[in-house]
Structure 1
Amino acid sequence: MEQESLPTEIILSHPHQTIGNIRLDWNPQPGAYLDLEGKTYTVLERRHRYQFKSGKYHLRKIALYVQLAQRPTERSRIHDRWVIGDITCGYNARSELIRCAVNPAGPCEGCRFFEQT
């Protein structure tokens, strides 16, 4: 079954402003990267907007809250998802959004706080 493309509002989280309205044929989850008008953004949050029609709620629109980002060059795979950084380090957050607490901007290679687990 082909997925229907839904109107999607792209909202910059800080400063809070709408930066675009597009139609997407995929469902970006928090941590995913989105390219829009030559810039790359990280999806922080996804909200659904519903409309009550004919006694039912219908998904009408999606709102994505994003922040400007660069795609990380260091990624590791944990089970079915990608995380930022080297997961063999004890400080790695194992997150799609943040690398670690001591060196969130990275890189992991050559980091003075690197602790092999």
Structure 2
Amino acid sequence: MEISAVPTEVCTLHPESTLGKLYLDWMPQPGNYINLEGKTYVILERRHRYQFRRGKYNLFRVLVYVQPAPENLERSLVNGRWIIGDGSCRYNAGSEIIRCAVNPNGPCQGCRFWEA
């Protein structure tokens, strides 16, 4: 399935408000990052809106719920996906949302628990 530019509405949950609308040529997934008006946000949730036309439902719009990404965002590319923190550390969670159990707020550099 080829994805053309999908109209995407970017919203926050708490407080609930719309940050803006844009067209994306990729399907946003929870854990991905999105830049809007010079600020970086992490996607928490994605919802689809469909419209019934010519006897079938078509994707009409995507809503993404976001929260501001931390300023000191450390990321590593591991197995083709971005994770938070140093991917070579033994305690890294390997997640797009949480860094690790022993030092979830980071940073990884200078952490006393860091192990290869």
Q: TM-score, normalised by structure 2?
A: 0.83
Amino acid at match of 1:105: N
Q: What residue ranges of structure 1 are gaps of 5+ in the alignment?
A: none
Question: For the aligned residues, what is the CA RMSD?
Answer: 2.2
The Cα of 1:39 is off from its aligned counterpart by: 1.3
1:47 and 2:29 matched: no
Superposed counterparts of 1:1-117, under 5 Å: 3-70=3-70, 73-114=73-114, 116=115
Q: Identity of aligned pairs, percent?
A: 59
Range that drifts further, 86-95 or 60-69: 86-95
Q: 1:38 to 1:74 in 2, by over 3 A?
A: closer
Which 4+ residue blocks in structure 1 deviate beyond 3 angstroms?
70-73
Normalised by the length of structure 1, the TM-score is 0.83
Q: How many residues align?
A: 116
